[in-house]
Amino acid sequence: MPILILLLGLLFGSFLNVCIYRLPREEFVFNYPSHCPECKRKLGLLDLIPLLSYIILEGKCRYCEVSISPRYPVVEILTGIVFLTTYMSIGFHPGLIKYLFFFSVLIVVFFIDLDHKIIPNSLVLVILTWGILWQIFWPEIFWVESLSGALLGGGFLLVLAVISRGGMGGGDIKLMFAAGFYLGPFLTSTALFIGFFSGAAVGIALILLKIKKRKDYIPFGPFLSLGIFLAVLWGRDIIDVYLSFIGLH
Ligand SMILES: [Zn+2]
């Protein structure tokens, strides 16, 4: 079973690559087959096998030999790992479908925000709708928890946006509203905490390494996505460790 989930992740990852590339360009996502971005030759079925085709072709297009970005296999491997850890953490369970889909959309958010510094509204809407459907038909938490999580996540970032006068993007606020709906207030706080902590750590590292300047904009969506993922799978453990660390447990 774990191998099957991993393979499913790799396969899904190759579709997520298509979404990451096409969504910000307003191309239709289901317009298969894909083509090489350089020579526009349509890719055969063999070229669409995730990971393996990249290894066999040594990272080059079969036709024009232009190098293909290592981003593609990276997204595939990442999706495989996310699928596998989600399965290991929640097991074979209806919630597995809920979170595999949710995390897949978060991976797309992660890379689109990284590349284009935007979080498309369509993706936030998909996350929110999916969460509401599960809340109606297969609730894991009470409605009051869902709603307070959403208000806390979106509200906290909205207040920050007002205070910092635009330091926080509208996309981040909407994303955290939608994710808060899944998480409830405690796990939403955990996700925000991880997001700010990892964002600050990476930001400081990039400035120290002189890759970024102090005033450069660093997208926050990838860090929020990471925080949400970790909060869903291990949020309760993280809260326990934190409470015992500050001596409250
Ligand atoms: Zn080509």
**Number of other CB atoms surrounding residue 62 within 10 Å:** 16
17 CA → ligand 1 middle, Å: 17
11 CA → ligand 1 middle, Å: 21
Strand blocks (E) in the chain: none
9 CA → ligand 1 middle, Å: 26
38 CA → ligand 1 middle, Å: 5
In this model, does residue 159 exceed pLDDT 90? Answer: yes
Domain ranges of the chain: 1-92, 110-249
45 CA → ligand 1 middle, Å: 15
Residue type at 104 in one-letter notation: S
Cβ neighbors of 104 (< 8 A, separation 6 or more) are 12, 16, 79, 82
- How far apart are alpha carbons 228 and 222 in whole angstroms? 10
Q: Which residue has the tokens 């929640």?
A: 90
62 CA → ligand 1 middle, Å: 7
111 CA → ligand 1 middle, Å: 23
- Across 97-121, average pLDDT: 96
Q: Copy the structure tokens of residue 245.
A: 């660390």
18 CA → ligand 1 middle, Å: 16
What pLDDT is recorded for position 239?
85
In this model, does residue 34 exceed pLDDT 80? Answer: no
Whether pTM > 0.85 for this model: the answer is yes
Q: Give residue 64's pLDDT band: very low, low, confident or very high (50, 70, 90).
A: confident
83 CA → ligand 1 middle, Å: 30
Q: Across-strand partners of 42? A: 35
What pLDDT is recorded for position 70?
86
Containing 21, the helix (H) or strand (E) segment is: helix 2-22
Containing 12, the helix (H) or strand (E) segment is: helix 2-22
Q: Quick check: 75 and 103 in contact, CB under 8 A?
A: no
What pLDDT is recorded for position 133?
96
50 CA → ligand 1 middle, Å: 17
35 CA → ligand 1 middle, Å: 8
- Top-confidence residue, 165 or 234: 234
48 CA → ligand 1 middle, Å: 14
Q: Give residue 38's pLDDT band: very low, low, confident or very high (50, 70, 90).
A: confident
What pLDDT is recorded for position 55?
83
What pLDDT is recorded for position 65?
82
pLDDT per residue as tens digits for the range 208-249: 998 888 778 889 999 999 999 999 999 888 888 888 888 776
In this model, does residue 170 exceed pLDDT 80? Answer: yes
64 CA → ligand 1 middle, Å: 4
46 CA → ligand 1 middle, Å: 14
- Across 170-187, average pLDDT: 96
58 CA → ligand 1 middle, Å: 13
110 CA → ligand 1 middle, Å: 26
14 CA → ligand 1 middle, Å: 17
In this model, does residue 114 exceed pLDDT 90? Answer: yes
SS (H, E, C) 91-150: CCCHHHHHHHHHHHHHHHHHHHHHHHCCCCHHHHHHHHHHHHHHHHHCCCCCHHHHHHHH
Q: Give residue 29's pLDDT band: very low, low, confident or very high (50, 70, 90).
A: low
User: Could you tell me what percent of the chain has a pLDDT over 90?
Assistant: 61
40 CA → ligand 1 middle, Å: 6
108 CA → ligand 1 middle, Å: 24
